[in-house]
Amino acid sequence: MTVLHLADEGEAADLAAFLSRLLHYDRGAAVRLQAAGTALAVFGRPPSFEVLAIRAARLAKPYEDGLDVTLDVTVSAGELLETVDEAAATATAPGAVTGPPWAGVLPPRGGWRAEKGLPAPDELRAMVAAAVGEFRRRSEELAPESRVRTELDRIGRDIWSRTVGDTGLPVRAVHAAQSLGFLRAAGAPADLALLSSGAWLRLRTPYGSIAVRRTGPGLGMPSLSVRRQHP
């Protein structure tokens, strides 16, 4: 097992909070860890949102004391959470697990460019609140015999697949950012950014990122080109 020395107690607490939120949506969640130098990236996919969540953390010292090696492994989120020691600012990467399909396809590391049209944080939070309210209202309007999973899923797809203005970013990505603690009220408008690279869109905040692929019909995007990796 590999011990990761995080930069401070705050980094350890934020990592633990991120893992806890992922486990709230999927008790069997897996995460992919990538570490190089003093940077750690933790990738997860909460099934309720169909997005890729990325939490970056700072390490106190270069991984493996600066040797020319990197960490790249898919592990159980629950087992990783159990090893986080906030007081010591450490975490231990548990044994590797067979990665889910999403863990083999990650967004590109570079080539990101800024996109225009992203509303201010308060507007984004209001958009999510309105969508949640609409889902609740439309669900309650259904006749009891029609309030089944397929119908609720249909309503959810209709609401959460809508885009944020003309950005192409689905509202579910913003909902995921808020639910995972990435879209905090204390953030300033300048702290948020919408980036694109190929067929990927990424909502970046100081606390983490949400990435989605623009592969739906009618979007006019080029064929998908991502780096495929082995978990």
Each residue's pLDDT tens digit, 173-195: 999 999 999 988 755 556 899 99
**Per-residue pLDDT for 217 more than 50?**
no
The amino acid present at 46, given as its one-letter code, is: P
Helix axes of 149-160 and 171-179: crossing angle, nearest 10 degrees: 100
For CATH 3.10.150.10, list the domain ranges present in the chain: 2-97
pTM: 0.85
Q: Does domain 2-97 have CATH number 1.10.260.40?
A: no
Residue among 44, 18, 34 at smallest CA distance from 109: 34
DSSP 28-74: T-EEEEEEETTEEEEEE--TTTT-EEEEEEEBSS-GGGG-S--EEEE
DSSP bridge pairs for 76: 30
Q: Write the pLDDT tens digit of every residue in 23-80.
A: 999 999 999 999 988 899 999 999 988 899 999 999 998 766 555 567 899 999 999 9
